[in-house]
Structure 1
Amino acid sequence: MFNAFPLMIIPFVLYNLAMLGLMGSGGLPALKNDVVVLSMISGAIWSMSLGDLFIVLALCVLFFEILKATRNGGGSLANHMLSMLVFIAFLVEFLLVQDAATQVFFILMTITLIDVIGGFAVSVRSAGRDVSIGL
């Protein structure tokens, strides 16, 4: 069951919660609020906004999605189909919802596209290695 669940839906849901104002205060402007601010040894101030945190989360999720794609078997095909549906949801929302037309959402959508293409490529490549011909 877990193998068929597309993890890229997590950043999608989190972004939509932030867009609706259910995460923090102020709705979409909350994406620009700093969640981490650190003073570096060099004296510089490093900060990470909520939108940047979503991108980092999506990249971590992409790593686990690619790992899941290396396994062949139950749920693999369902995962690919559901990942494609998540990408389509990203694309439709990006094109039709005004608050989704941001750089953060576009980067999340691109990460999801890489997940779909990479998942298919890794699965096809690893499935080719599993074929054995008995002589």
Structure 2
Amino acid sequence: MVARIPLLLIPFLLFNLGLSGVLGADDVFIRSLFSVEMMSGGTWTMQWGDLLVLIALLILFVEIMKSTRSGSASIIDHLLSTVVFVAFLVEFLMVAGAATSLFFMLMIIALIDVLAGFSVSIRTAGRDINIG
């Protein structure tokens, strides 16, 4: 049952923990995580929000790999991923604190998970059909 939990729920919950102030006061996602002086003389700064997007992208990769499985478990995975995307969409539209570019990018990552999951499943199901 644990494998059926959509992993993109993790960035959703982390964003909401930061939004609610549990992770710190103010907007935790614009705080600098670290800075690196580059050879060009510029400074690359990683913020907490950037890290959250990076985590979501890595999770997206895992979710797409999970979608290559066939069977009834993959159908449940797709439905739960759709529920997570709908939760992102509803929060984006209804919660003032979620009206940020960071949350929008996380929502689009969830949408890509849904679309890729169904696309991969349809493509693999087409290959499983034998014409006899």
Q: TM-score, normalised by structure 1?
A: 0.92
The range that moved more, 66-75 or 117-126, is: 66-75
Partner of 1:80: 78
Q: Give the CA deviation at 1:73.
A: 2.1
Among 43, 50, 53, the alignment partner of 2:41 is: 43
Q: Would the aligned equivalents of 1:32 and 1:50 in 2 still touch at CA under 8 Å?
A: yes
Q: 1:2: how far off? A: 3.7
Measured in 2, the distance between the counterparts of 1:92 and 1:74 equals 27
> Is the partner of 1:35 in helix, strand or coil?
strand
Question: Runs of 5+ in structure 2 lacking a partner?
Answer: none
- Does 2:100 correspond to 1:63? no
Match of 1:15 in 2: 15
Q: Deviations over 1:6-30 (max 9, x none)?
A: 111010000000001111x214x11
Which residue of structure 1 lines up, in the alignment, with residue 6 of structure 2?
6
The percent identity for this pair of structures is 48
Q: Report the alpha carbon displacement of residue 42 of structure 1 after superposing the two structures with TM.
A: 2.2
Contact in 2 for aligned 1:3/1:76 (Cα 8 Å): no
Q: How does 1:71-110 map to 2 (within 5 A)?
A: 71-110=69-108
User: CA 1:127–1:110 in 2, change beyond 3 Å: closer, same or farther?
Assistant: same
Moved over 2 A (4+): none
> Alpha-carbon deviations, 1:67-100, whole Å to 9, x = none?
0001112421111010000001001100110000
Please report the TM-score for the alignment, with normalisation by the length of structure 2. Answer: 0.94
Deviation (angstroms), 1:41: 2.3
* Match of residue 26 from structure 1: 25
Deviation at 1:123, TM superposition (A): 0.7
Aligned AA (2:108): T
- Name the Cα RMSD after superposition: 1.2
Kindly tell me the number of residue pairs found equivalent between the two proteins.
Answer: 132
Deviation at residue 3 of structure 1 after TM alignment:
3.3
